[in-house]
Amino acid sequence: MTWDELAAMEPGLAGLAAEVGRIARGAGRDFCANAAWYGYRDWPGIKPRLVHLVGWSRRGRQRAASGDLFAQLTTMAASSRMEARTAAFAEDIAHGLDALWSDEAYDVAYDHLYDLLPDCRACRCVDAIS
């Protein structure tokens, strides 16, 4: 499975890649790739949004695009959430998108997007290693 194959199946990945590119181009002398990736303060980070597009936590075709629906889903009982995830998975299977739920899809997308970020420089990550 390749990045291009994943991006063709899930258009949201291209949007994340474009965002990572903007972050990389705007990175100054002090930059923390981990903060950009995982999020900090009010910045949601890339990874928390990636998990809704590929891998086990994928929300499905319509669900990944709708923040309002996500808010509704998180307030439901655990069994209802499982039913919603099962429905999302069944919908993806019907559209030939079940590969997006795999570990491999997650790993390919994670590696591709993280590798687009510049290395940490002059941040606490670098200080911790020194």
Q: Which residue has the higher pLDDT, 40 or 61?
A: 40
For residue range 80-111, what is the model confidence (pLDDT) as tens digits?
Answer: 666 777 777 777 777 777 888 899 999 999 99
Separation of alpha carbons 14 and 37, rounded Å:
16
Q: Which residue has the higher pLDDT, 42 or 6?
A: 6
What global pTM score does this model have? Answer: 0.75
Separation of alpha carbons 65 and 59, rounded Å:
9
* Phi, psi at 30, each rounded to 5°: -105, 110
The answer to which of 27-36, 94-103, 115-124 has the lowest mean pLDDT is: 94-103
The torsion defined by the Cα of 22, 116, 119 and 24, in degrees rounded to 10, comes to -10
Q: How far is CA 107 from CA 11, 56, 111, in A?
A: 17, 11, 6
